[in-house]
Amino acid sequence: MKKALIALAVLGLTGGAAVAQSSVTLFGVIDADMKYVKTGDVKLKKLDSSGLNTSRIGVRGTEDLGGGLKAGFWLESEVFADTGAADSTRFWGRRATVSLSGDFGEVRLGRNKTVSRLHLEDFDPFTFTGLGSVGAIYSNLGSGNGTAYGRADNLVSYSLPGGLSGFYGGVDISAGEGTGTNKGQSVRVGYKNGPLHVSGAYASTSNAADNDKFKLTSIGAAYDFGVARPSLSYSENKFMARKQQILTASVTVPLGQGQFVAAYTDAKANTAAETAATGYTPIGDAKLLALGYVYNLSKRTALYTTYSQIDNKGAAKFLVAGAPAATAGGLKSSGFDVGVKHSF
Amino acid sequence: MKKALIALAVLGLTGGAAVAQSSVTLFGVIDADMKYVKTGDVKLKKLDSSGLNTSRIGVRGTEDLGGGLKAGFWLESEVFADTGAADSTRFWGRRATVSLSGDFGEVRLGRNKTVSRLHLEDFDPFTFTGLGSVGAIYSNLGSGNGTAYGRADNLVSYSLPGGLSGFYGGVDISAGEGTGTNKGQSVRVGYKNGPLHVSGAYASTSNAADNDKFKLTSIGAAYDFGVARPSLSYSENKFMARKQQILTASVTVPLGQGQFVAAYTDAKANTAAETAATGYTPIGDAKLLALGYVYNLSKRTALYTTYSQIDNKGAAKFLVAGAPAATAGGLKSSGFDVGVKHSF
Amino acid sequence: MKKALIALAVLGLTGGAAVAQSSVTLFGVIDADMKYVKTGDVKLKKLDSSGLNTSRIGVRGTEDLGGGLKAGFWLESEVFADTGAADSTRFWGRRATVSLSGDFGEVRLGRNKTVSRLHLEDFDPFTFTGLGSVGAIYSNLGSGNGTAYGRADNLVSYSLPGGLSGFYGGVDISAGEGTGTNKGQSVRVGYKNGPLHVSGAYASTSNAADNDKFKLTSIGAAYDFGVARPSLSYSENKFMARKQQILTASVTVPLGQGQFVAAYTDAKANTAAETAATGYTPIGDAKLLALGYVYNLSKRTALYTTYSQIDNKGAAKFLVAGAPAATAGGLKSSGFDVGVKHSF
């Protein structure tokens, strides 16, 4: 039953079997790592948050409305375990949704990950978190909006119901609300059955100032052989004439009371993306190597260690999580950590 | 038992029947609506929060101290379901109180709604929330302080005990703490017995800069005929020579698995209120029409739809909730929404 | 079982006796006081928060990992009960930690009180809170960093295990993370057995700008005679040539359904500490007298009253909690409050 460790019985309803489906759950993760990071010649030792999973606290629940219909809500807030800070702009910035689901699928309203982001996480063995996150080398190419590979406000999303023989899918739109840059939409379709998982996503977000859209197209495939789960992912980010192509090959290997993970990513920028323009800081090619081992003390608690490095080329200034800012393009950024993750 | 859906048993006390009265409750509402709003010619589609009830999360509890004495606390935080934001100034801005109650009544300390605001909500069928909120056309008349019809910091409040044959009442004062504008007091008395409810409130808040007080006087009456509950409310806001008079007639009609609500409000400003002065943007007359239907999927979950419009006159720039800013006085502001509310 | 009033059973584990040790607890304190404070001739009446204990809300938990090993987490956020505000910089600023404990002791990562601060609280009968807090006259002597007697980010701490015949101890370090002022370390050793409690602590925090460290050395002793618990504490704060010596004598006396507390503190500044320098506002000698009575309505709820006054000398501008700012050095600051504290 995953992270739903605290299922509080819901009182005050009229009783009966259906009521047993209703619950409210307080959940969270506290994850802290001791970290050594380096960019070029600048080194730093630090205690950081969210080395394996993002530290968070949340409350979520579902209510069985009968006839297969369910209502649900989800509030989730990031915790910066090193300083005790929360997201000061959007306290519930990880998720704030209300939803209705049934035979027709699920409709959700609120702030949430786009379905495009959900696709990307499935094919990054570091799930866009910590030193190994492939998110470190994703660029919005000067569009000013990375919701295509992140989260969006004002989201209305629809997901297909289960029971489609492994096929699944979802679509979402976020209202622009008069400011062009908030407007976006994304769509995802996939197939997950037994050991095989394939999925594709497309997302676009408006940029009124430049009268163009940031577009992300991505496909991924993974196969679980039992002794290892290799995975391949390809993404293309476009904005105006700029383009970034990101190819990730990774493998997850069960090892002892845990798992070993390795991922290699090759990101290429086209000439337009490498060229400075008004309001645009150029990027460049980059390669990301990430190795990690997770040792599970229990289902809820794990020790882990990670090593990662980004080889930047040209103007590229990509950084592993928590690394010092790059003083110039083309510098190597690397990190090593040891941490503990506890979920509740 | 209303919203107290999760009553956690309190452990660690010495046991016995009295202890069974003690509880801590995690509660909340997530409410989001898809909205079409218009002010003058400017139109906007958006996903918004709090169309029917204000989205929130809170923790509250009571402890039975024996002999009829109870201690209690209440923390409540607004949730902006569209962006995941919380109130960045006062996280627990909806309420943060500790209280003692017994045969003598109840004393509360902390931030809270004034008793004057509580009176006003009782006679607005939209309870000061969403597109239909009568709060949209309340003006503080340049006093810079709307706590008389809102919430106040540093509040000490006293409520009469129950069991007074339907009579109830309360009074509160908020300390100025050296800044004149925070200082306020309000008083309310009412009678609610069977189908009849009548109530009156008076509140004043200091404004040191102008050496005068903002004063709100309000009376309301409602009668529940079963097939319909008509309600009448009259408020007078005053500051210096400025005056605003607000008359609301409304009706709530049970309809199918829900209820239909209609409210019409006529707000009049006197000549002083319509006249610009240093630091004061003049208002004008306005009429608010609001229609809503709530369809209950369960006690906790509802679908709803609302239509409202404000007809501004002269310099008036009142807006329905979430509407674009008025570019001039006298423009019509209107909105239509469809939303879902889920409480826990 | 102290404040762990709500222990939620943890579901989803494999059952058994060990599991019974795992729990997640929602806890808090709401404490508000009506206060009269005065500095020099400036008087103020106010409603304030945290007169006896700091108002807070938190979630904490432990998981039994078997073999004596436990994982734990702790999130704690201050609540300003007078305004409903939370800490806007660090929402979980009181504590955000993840920990592992066992026969070896306990290792904690995150934001927390330093062990030095924990020592100081043990010998201040007002535990650094409210009108009587001895913290009011602690100075960082211009070092810009009071974590030695407060809390620190990026903390890695280790505590000795129990079962050492009353001896206990701990050490912590906080990473500088490239900014010298965050770097610190502290150590504490103590002995608590039967009525006797003695403890000592040393802490230092870096200040890169002045190329020196702020250093705090403190010792304390208390003996519980049953009818009274007298306590003595001595602290020395040093930074560059500046020094502040703080001697506190206090007594806690059980009285009726509560306890009476009196504390007298004499703080002396040396000549360097009394001399203005670039970026340094000089302090001076000060004496703090604090008297308090707590009346327990239950284990969770108390009424209390406090009187305190600080006699500032020379340039000293120390203030009792919530008092108006001093317009000059050497003014007396005093306060009186009556409040209610409720914990859950």
Mean of pLDDT values over B312-326: 97
Nearest to A12 among B5, B85, B342 (CB): B5
pLDDT at res. A2: 31
Which residues in chain C have Cβ-Cβ distances shorter than 8 Å to B71?
297-298, 300-301, 340, 342
> Cβ contact (<8 Å) for C47 and B92?
no
- Contact residues, chain A, for C13 at CB < 8 Å: 5, 299
- Smallest CA–CA separation between B45 and chain C, in Å? 32
Instruction: Provide, as residue numbers in chain C, all residues whose Cβ is less than 8 Å from the Cβ of A339.
Output: 109
Distance from the B206 Cα atom to the nearest Cα atom in chain C, whole angstroms: 15
Measured CA to CA, the distance from residue A319 to residue A335 in angstroms comes to: 9
Strands C196-207 and C167-174: unpaired
Query: What pLDDT does B207 receive?
Result: 86
CA distance C140 to C214: 7
**Which partners does chain B have (≥3 C-beta pairs < 8 Å)?**
A, C
**Residue A49 with chain C: CB contacts under 8 Å:** 110
- C344–B24 C-beta distance less than 8 A: yes
CB nearest A340 (choices: C94, C96, C100): C100
Q: Which amino acid is at B236?
A: E
Q: Closest approach of chain A CAs to the CA of C232, in angstroms?
A: 33
Q: What is the CATH number of domain C24-343?
A: 2.40.160.10
pLDDT of res. C343 = 97
Instruction: Tell me which residue of A231, A222, A234 sits closest to A197, measured CA to CA.
Output: A222
- Of all residues in chain B, the one with the smallest CA distance to A61 is B344
Q: What is the SS3 assignment for B118?
A: helix
For range B280-309, the mean pLDDT? 98
A-chain residues within 8 Å CB-CB of B32? 97-98, 109-110
The number of residues in chain B equals: 344
C89 interfacial to chain B (CB closer than 8 Å) = no
B11 to chain A, any CB pair closer than 8 A? The answer is: no
pLDDT for B181 = 65
Mean pLDDT of C171-178: 89
Q: pTM of this prediction? A: 0.94
Domain edges within chain B? 24-343
pLDDT the model gives residue B21: 63
Distance from the C48 Cα atom to the nearest Cα atom in chain A, whole angstroms: 24
Give the pLDDT confidence score for residue C171 in this predicted structure: 98
How many other CB atoms are there within 10 angstroms of residue A179's CB atom?
Answer: 10
Reported confidence tier of residue C207, pLDDT bands at 50, 70, 90: confident
Q: Which of C32, C55, C84 sits opposite B90 (nearest CB)?
A: C84
Specify the pairing of strand B167-174 against strand B212-223: unpaired
DSSP three-state, residue A27 = strand
Residue A63 corresponds to which tokens in the numbers above? 């209510």
pLDDT per position as a tens digit, C8-45? 333 322 333 334 468 899 999 999 999 999 999 999 99
Per-residue pLDDT of chain A (344 residues; tens, 9 = 90+): 233 223 333 332 233 333 446 889 999 999 999 999 999 999 999 999 999 999 999 999 999 999 999 999 999 999 999 999 999 999 999 999 999 999 999 999 999 999 999 999 999 999 999 999 999 999 999 998 888 899 999 999 999 999 999 999 999 999 888 776 679 999 999 999 999 999 999 999 998 788 899 999 999 999 999 999 999 999 999 999 999 999 999 999 999 999 999 999 999 999 999 999 999 999 999 999 999 999 999 999 999 999 999 999 999 999 999 999 999 999 999 999 999 999 99
SS3 B342: strand
- Give the residue from A56, B24, B99, B4 showing the smallest Cα distance to C26: B24
At B19-64, the pLDDT tens digits run 446 889 999 999 999 999 999 999 999 999 999 999 999 999 999 9
Do the chains contact at C300 and B63, CB–CB below 8 Å? yes
- Chains touching A by CB (3 or more pairs below 8 Å): B, C
Cβ-proximal residues to B190 (8 Å cutoff; 6+ apart), any chain: B119, B122, B167, B168, B169, B197, B198, B199, B200
- The whole-angstrom separation of Cα B297 and Cα B308 is 23
How far is the C-alpha of A67 from the C-alpha of C120, rounded, in Å?
Answer: 61
What is the complex's ipTM, to 2 decimals? 0.93
Q: Which of C210, C98, A114, A91 is nearest to B56 (CA)?
A: A91
- Mean of pLDDT over chain C: 92
pLDDT confidence of residue C6: 33
Would the pLDDT of C273 be above 70? yes
List the chains bordering chain C where 3 or more Cβ pairs fall under 8 Å: A, B
Which pLDDT tens digit goes with each residue over C63-105?
999 999 999 999 999 999 999 999 999 999 999 999 999 999 9
User: Residue C18 and residue C8: Cα distance in Å, rounded?
Assistant: 15
Which residue among C63, C88, C154 sits closest to A47, beta carbon to beta carbon?
C154
Q: Which residue in the set B63, B93, B109 is minimally distant from C32, CB to CB? A: B109
Is A114 part of the contact surface with chain B (CB cutoff 8 Å)? Answer: no
Residues pairing with B203 in the sheet: B186, B216
Question: What span, in angstroms and rounded, lies between the C-alpha atoms of A64 and A274?
Answer: 53
Q: What is the pLDDT of residue C181?
A: 65
CB A318 within 8 A of CB A328: no
pLDDT of C180: 61
Rounded to whole angstroms, the Cα distance separating A181 from A210 reads 10
How far from chain centre, in Å, is Cα A337? 20
Question: Cα–Cα distances in Å, from B305 out to A262, A326, B339?
Answer: 51, 52, 6
At C315-331, the pLDDT tens digits run 999 999 999 999 999 99
Question: Å from A177 to nearest chain B CA?
Answer: 5
**Predicted local confidence at residue C121, as pLDDT:** 97
pLDDT-wise least confident of A207-216, A299-308, C124-133, C305-314: A207-216
